[in-house]
């Protein structure tokens, strides 16, 4: 009966997957079909039925936030002891454990602050005078080379063959020299970067039988979410973890492959059965998130694309997606902000509204327009919630209060603690002060998620668990986000701005492969909306003459007869 509870609330397709506890298994899961729910219930069912020992299960995903949410769901389902981690965090733990045994001394230090400060020093030493944008592009090239498992020599061959392009301000020889010097600098300082963590861990398992035995004894059952985003290096690490075993369940959606530029390859998902003969394949195509009209637009956009699923909406009632055309970005931002202000005044919570865009630079106009109308905003990905000073202070106060016997209602305890760091019942004036208030108010709002008799000690432990895995609460503000950062999220109302040629698809997407990735990016944006989807684009102002994005027509949305002028 305990095992049966882990299957409650699943639809027939989801339940079939959750009951298939031994691998190899692949799940092709469309947007909004409940894939995270399905795989967490599958793991919980495996644990409660005794098929899985929880400490031998590893659930892997790609971001700390996703891992944190998965860990929280597993905890709620009673699957204590199961680890949900990113590839990097799992590998880093293994590297830190085995390095002293194999080499002696602690593992090399992880490069702090990312690659760019080190690359800037090296570029200056070579008198290259690179811009921040060029340095970011060099860092991206290093990351792509490493996750593609290429040596500098192999990369050089591809670069000279025209398969890769040197960033602006560099020729091929300078780029190779910079990469060589970067590798030497890390070696001299006994440092490694994030990609090296995966490289060293994979090599350690493959070359040291005693390490392989211990790792494979530790983890027996694997689940990999977002498998369409796996790179050759991550795939190699997974193969090293598995060895000759096949108890692995992979879940993904080829239509949401939006990190091809960073080395992701959805072929590992689409050809899973070739790599694992006898694998069982399941499909999830019942969409619980979006209205029928949004789902139909998404289906039309991805028609005839490799691996595309045909989604079917489970929702009733719908609003047709709308497309609107403007002369300039400012005109678009003002109209979108006015529409959002109207939606909030009509009762839509600000936290249920998002504005999505292709490039981060597009956020400035819309943020200014919304703030001008008194609408609070939060830029997704700008700073982790639990890294904010006011949040760290509040968590510290809660942890301190948890050490004291206090029989008052949880809401009263927490609200009193938050008042000590500046929270009040009404939001203050000023954007910065409101942002701080929103953070503190989000902590208080968490109280409503707990049963009435929850103690401050239990609340404190939950806060600590969330902070460790960066499981963020929702803020009462309109979310502004680049589409890449929005994958995995959803809102009731989504405004997708900048749907113009040169923006989405981006101007440098020139060949068919790049255009296909841009199309998948548009698909991700469309499927973030639950109830209302509003799309807009601009001609770019007086000195530009952009056309509406080709994806608008592909999605079957009517184009304006003439622009708004």
3-state secondary structure 343-383: HHHCCCCHHHEEEEECCHHHHHHHHHHHHHCCCCEEECCCC
Is it the case that residue 336 has pLDDT exceeding 70? yes
Is it the case that residue 12 has pLDDT exceeding 90? yes
Tell me the angle at which helices 152-160 and 172-189 cross, rounded to the nearest 10 degrees.
Answer: 170
Q: What is the pLDDT of residue 394?
A: 85
**What's the alpha-carbon Rg for the chain, to the nearest Å?**
25
Tokens standing for 411? 């809401």
Q: What is the pLDDT of residue 486?
A: 92
Region of poorest pLDDT, from 89-93, 129-133, 222-226: 129-133
Residue with token string 């006011």: 390
How far apart are the C-alpha atoms of 326 and 159, rounded to whole Å?
40
178 and 122 assigned to the same domain: yes
Q: What is the pLDDT of residue 561?
A: 56
Q: What is the pLDDT of residue 519?
A: 96
315-324 confidence digits (pLDDT tens): 887 788 989 9
280 and 315 assigned to the same domain: no
Tokens standing for 373? 């109308």
Name the average pLDDT for the chain: 89
How many of the other CB atoms lie within 10 Å of CB of 78? 13
Tell me the angle at which helices 87-102 and 232-242 cross, rounded to the nearest 10 degrees.
Answer: 60
Q: Using the 3D structure, point to which of 218, 253, 284 is the last residue of a domain.
A: 284
Q: What is the pLDDT of residue 543?
A: 61
Asked if the bond preceding 284 is cis, omega within 30° of 0, the reply is: no
65-119 confidence digits (pLDDT tens): 888 889 888 988 988 889 999 999 999 999 999 999 888 888 899 998 889 999 9
Band (pLDDT 50/70/90 cuts) for residue 383 is low
318 and 343 assigned to the same domain: yes
Q: What is the pLDDT of residue 470?
A: 60
Q: What is the pLDDT of residue 465?
A: 76
Contacts of 93 (CB under 8 A, 6+ apart): 85
HSE (CB half, 13 Å, CA atoms) of 471? 18
Give the percent of the chain with pLDDT over 70: 94
Band (pLDDT 50/70/90 cuts) for residue 565 is very low
Q: What is the pLDDT of residue 544?
A: 65
For residues 29-36, give the mean pLDDT: 94
149-207 confidence digits (pLDDT tens): 999 999 999 999 988 888 887 899 999 999 999 999 999 999 999 999 999 999 999 99
Pick left, alpha or beta for residue 556 (phi over 0 → left; psi -120 to 50 → alpha; otherwise beta). Answer: left
CA distances from 491 to 299, 515, 532 (A): 19, 26, 9
Q: The whole model's pTM is what? A: 0.82
178: enclosing H helix or E strand: helix 172-189
Q: Using the 3D structure, point to which of 249, 284, 319 is the last residue of a domain.
A: 284
Higher pLDDT, 453 or 294: 294
Residues annotated in a binding site for ATP: 29-36
Is it the case that residue 1 has pLDDT exceeding 60? no
Tokens standing for 247? 């108890």
Residue 137: domain span: 112-189
Q: What is the pLDDT of residue 382?
A: 59
458 and 485 assigned to the same domain: no
Residues annotated in a binding site: 29-36
Q: How far is CA 282 from the centre of its chain?
A: 23
373 and 392 assigned to the same domain: no
- Within a domain: 101: no
Q: Using the 3D structure, point to which of 230, 261, 284 is the last residue of a domain.
A: 284
- Within a domain: 97: no
Q: Give me the helices (H) in 208-260, please.
A: 209-218, 232-242
Apex CA 63: angle with CA 57 and CA 65, to 5°?
90
For residues 545-563, give the mean pLDDT: 83
Q: What is the pLDDT of residue 8?
A: 86
Q: What is the pLDDT of residue 563?
A: 44
How far apart are the C-alpha atoms of 434 and 565, rounded to whole Å?
35
Structurally, the chain folds into a number of domains equal to 4
């Amino acid at each position: 009966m305990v095992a049966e509870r882990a299957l409650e609330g699943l639809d027939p397709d989801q339940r079939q997957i959750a009951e298939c506890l031994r691998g190899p298994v692949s799940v092709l899961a469309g947007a909004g079909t409940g894939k995270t729910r399905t795989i967490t219930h599958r793991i919980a069912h495996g644990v409660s039925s005794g098929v899985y020992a929880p400490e031998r299960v590893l659930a892997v995903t790609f971001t700390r936030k996703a891992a944190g949410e998965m860990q929280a769901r597993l905890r709620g389902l009673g699957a204590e002891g199961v680890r949900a981690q990113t590839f990097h965090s799992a590998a880093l733990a293994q590297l830190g454990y085995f390095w002293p045994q194999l080499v002696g001394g602690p593992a090399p230090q992880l490069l702090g602050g990312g690659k760019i400060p080190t690359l800037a020093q090296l570029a200056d030493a070579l008198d290259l005078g690179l811009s921040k944008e060029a340095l970011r592009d060099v860092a991206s090239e290093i990351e792509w080379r490493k996750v593609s498992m290429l040596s500098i020599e192999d990369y050089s061959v591809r670069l000279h063959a025209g398969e890769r392009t040197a960033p602006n301000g560099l020729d091929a020889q300078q780029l190779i020299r910079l990469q060589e010097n970067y590798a030497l600098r890390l070696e001299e300082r006994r440092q490694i970067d994030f990609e090296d963590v995966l490289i060293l861990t994979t090599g350690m398992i493959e070359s040291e039988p005693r390490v392989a035995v211990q790792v494979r004894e530790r983890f027996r059952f694997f689940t990999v979410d977002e498998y369409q985003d796996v790179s050759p290096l991550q795939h190699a690490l997974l193969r090293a973890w598995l060895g000759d075993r096949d108890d692995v369940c992979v879940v993904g959606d080829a239509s949401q492959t939006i990190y091809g530029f960073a080395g992701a390859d959805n072929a590992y998902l689409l050809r899973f059965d070739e790599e694992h003969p006898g694998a069982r394949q399941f499909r999830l195509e019942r969409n619980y998130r979006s209205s029928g009209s949004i789902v139909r637009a998404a289906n039309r956009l991805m028609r005839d694309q490799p691996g595309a699923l045909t989604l079917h909406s489970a929702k009733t009632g719908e609003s047709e997606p709308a497309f609107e055309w403007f002369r300039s970005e400012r005109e678009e931002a003002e109209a979108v902000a006015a529409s959002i202000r109207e939606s909030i005044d009509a009762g839509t919570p600000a936290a249920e509204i998002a504005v999505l865009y292709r490039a981060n630079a597009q956020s400035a106009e819309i943020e200014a327009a919304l703030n001008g109308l008194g609408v609070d905003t939060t830029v997704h990905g700008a700073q982790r919630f639990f890294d904010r000073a006011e949040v760290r202070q509040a968590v510290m106060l809660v942890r301190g209060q948890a050490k004291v016997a206090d029989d008052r209602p949880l809401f009263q305890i927490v609200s009193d603690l938050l008042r000590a760091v500046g929270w009040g019942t009404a939001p203050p004036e000023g954007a910065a002060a409101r942002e701080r208030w929103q953070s503190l108010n989000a902590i208080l709002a968490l109280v409503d998620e707990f049963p009435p008799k929850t103690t401050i000690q239990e609340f404190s432990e939950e806060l600590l668990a969330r902070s460790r895995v960066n499981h963020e609460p929702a803020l009462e503000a309109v979310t502004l986000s680049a589409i890449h950062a929005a994958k995995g999220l959803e809102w009731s109302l989504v405004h997708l701005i900048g749907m113009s040629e040169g923006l989405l698809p981006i101007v440098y997407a020139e060949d068919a492969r790049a255009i296909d990735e841009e199309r998948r990016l548009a698909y991700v944006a469309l499927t973030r909306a639950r109830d209302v989807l509003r799309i807009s684009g601009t001609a770019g102002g007086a000195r530009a003459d952009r056309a509406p994005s080709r994806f608008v027509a592909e999605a079957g949305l009517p184009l304006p007869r003439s622009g708004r002028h």
